[in-house]
């Protein structure tokens, strides 16, 4: 609308006598990503030992504590419970700690500050998710060690499946958590995430078999990410007893893409 036919776009074409100020060249994507990662890690790094300590406590709480609920727990149930614990931990980090961090960043102005940086904004999310992945993944090892100490059973790893399921679960939880925190106001974010923890721990067939739930609730869980994530991870941990289903993978992927899409939109959009 405001284009004058003689003066071109961003490229200095016409302005003959007036020295045109040049647009600085784009910084390489990799350099930008690596630098943002350094920034995010610098901020989250000091928190890392605490997060891992919390993960260990939670793992102990689930594996040992839930064990008390079942008197004389049989090895099969113990295995089921223990192999569900990593999923709970990944979900807690992604759905509680991530939104807490994002809500805080929004309240303190950090979120806006970063959005004003000369970087493609989706990279901000990518750097954040990378850091959260690094924070969340040790929880799997922590849960496995606790389970092994408590029940002393062996794992039968399907490594490629385990790595893929762990990464996807953690990414999904973190991106959905991020999306919650950018869509809802901070106080509502806090309440929602607290409710989600209870839902994951007590009302999701993660640490107990889905068959114990009413049928309609099983159907609900066919569409939520929790049971699919738990089943995928379990198939990676004790691959002799459980197998992964393609449908679970698809459900998890859909949630992941949805979380990322909402988060990116919030980062990119100008209100």
Partner 1 sequence: MVDGVLEVENLCRRFGAVTANDHVTLRVRPGEVVGLLGHNGAGKTTLVSQVAGLLRPDGGTIRVAGTDAVADPGTARRCVALQAQAQAPLDGLTPRTAIEIAARLRGMSRAKAAAAARAVAEELDIIEWFDRRAMPDGGGISGGIRRLTAFAMAAVAPVPLVILDEPANDVDAARRRLLWKTVRRLGDEGAGVLLVTHNVVEAERVVDELVVLDKGKVVASGSPSGLRGASDHDLRLELSLTPDGADPSGSGVPFRVARRVRAGRRVLLTVRADNAEKAVAWASALRAGERIEGYALAPVTLEDVYLAVTGGNAKEAGE
Please write down the long-range contacts of 185-190, taking CB distance under 8 Å and 24 or more positions apart.
186/103, 186/104, 186/106, 186/107, 189/99, 189/100, 189/102, 189/103, 190/99, 190/100, 190/103
The DSSP element (H or E) to which 242 belongs, if any, is none
Minimum CB distance to partner 1 smaller for 28 or for 71:
28
CA-wise closest residue to 112 among 99, 123, 102, 100: 102
Residue 177: CB minimum distance to partner 1, A: 19
Q: Is 28 in the site for partner 1 (CB under 8 A)?
A: yes
Q: Which is nearer to partner 1, 104 or 190 (CB)?
A: 104
Query: Least Å distance between CB 271 and partner 1?
Result: 6
| Distance in Å, CB of 214 to partner 1, minimum | 45
Closest CB to partner 1 among residues 71, 109: 109
Using the contact rule CB under 8 A, the part of the chain among 28-36, 85-93, 173-181, 238-246 near partner 1 is 28-36
Burial pattern 250-265, b for ≥16 Cβ within 10 A else e, equals: ebbeebbeebbebbbe
Count of chain residues binding partner 1 (CB under 8 A) = 44
50 binds partner 1 (CB under 8 A): no
16 contacts partner 1 (rule: CB under 8 A): no
The yes or no reply on residue 219 touching partner 1 (CB under 8 A) is: no
Q: Which stretch binds partner 1 (CB under 8 A): 21-29, 132-140, 192-200, 222-230?
A: 21-29
Give DSSP secondary structure letters for 72-130: T--HHHHHHHHHHHHHHHHHHIIIIIHHHHHHHHHHHTHHHHHHTSSS-THHHHHHHHH
Q: Please report whether residue 49 would count as binding partner 1 according to CB under 8 A.
A: no
Residues 67-86 that bind partner 1 (CB under 8 A): none
Task: Find the binder of partner 1 among 100, 115, 192, 199 (CB under 8 A).
Answer: 115
In this structure, are residues 207 and 80 in contact, taking their beta carbons and an 8 Å threshold?
A: yes
Residues from 120 through 179 that contact partner 1 (CB under 8 A): 120
Composition of the chain by helix, strand, coil, percent to 5? 75, 0, 25
Q: CB 109 → partner 1: shortest distance, Å? A: 3
φ/ψ bin of 23: left (φ > 0), alpha (ψ from -120 to 50), beta (otherwise): beta
Beta bridge partners of 238: 156
Question: For residues 31 and 211, which CB has a smaller minimum distance to partner 1 in the complex?
Answer: 31
Nearer to partner 1 by Cβ, of 134 and 141: the residue is 134
Among 90, 93, 119, 237, binds partner 1 (CB under 8 A): 119
Q: Tell me which of 5, 42, 50, 214 binds partner 1, using CB under 8 A.
A: 42
Residues in contact with 59: Cβ distance below 8 Å, sequence separation at least 6, in sequence order: 85, 89, 139, 142, 143, 146, 147
- Counting Cα atoms < 13 Å in the Cβ hemisphere of 217 gives 11
Query: Where along the sequence are the contacts to partner 1 (CB under 8 A)?
Result: 2, 4, 7, 9-10, 12, 15, 18-28, 31-32, 35-36, 38-39, 42-46, 105, 108-110, 112-120, 270-271
């Amino acid at each position: 609308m405001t284009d004058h036919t003689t003066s071109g776009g961003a490229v200095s074409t016409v302005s003959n006598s007036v020295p045109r100020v040049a647009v600085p060249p784009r910084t390489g994507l990799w350099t930008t990503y690596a630098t943002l990662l350094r920034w995010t890690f610098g901020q989250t790094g000091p928190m890392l030992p605490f997060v891992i300590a919390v993960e260990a406590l939670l793992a102990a709480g689930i594996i040992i504590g839930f064990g008390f609920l079942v008197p004389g727990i049989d090895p099969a149930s113990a295995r089921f419970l223990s192999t569900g614990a990593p999923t709970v931990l990944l979900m807690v980090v992604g759905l509680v700690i991530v939104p807490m961090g994002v809500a805080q960043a929004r309240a303190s102005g950090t979120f806006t500050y970063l959005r004003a940086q000369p970087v493609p904004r989706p990279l901000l999310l990518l750097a954040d998710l990378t850091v959260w992945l690094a924070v969340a993944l040790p929880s799997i090892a922590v849960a496995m060690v606790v389970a092994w100490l408590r029940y002393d059973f062996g794992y039968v790893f399907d490594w490629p499946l385990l790595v893929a399921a762990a990464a996807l679960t953690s990414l999904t939880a973190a991106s959905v958590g991020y999306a919650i925190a950018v869509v809802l106001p901070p106080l509502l974010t806090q309440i929602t995430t607290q409710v989600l923890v209870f839902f994951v721990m007590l009302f999701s067939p993660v640490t107990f078999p889905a068959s114990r739930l009413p049928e309609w609730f099983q159907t609900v869980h066919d569409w939520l990410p929790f049971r699919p994530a738990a089943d995928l991870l379990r198939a990676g941990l004790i691959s002799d007893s459980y197998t992964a289903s393609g449908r679970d993978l698809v459900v998890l992927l859909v949630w992941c893409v949805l979380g990322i899409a909402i988060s990116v939109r919030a980062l990119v959009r100008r209100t």
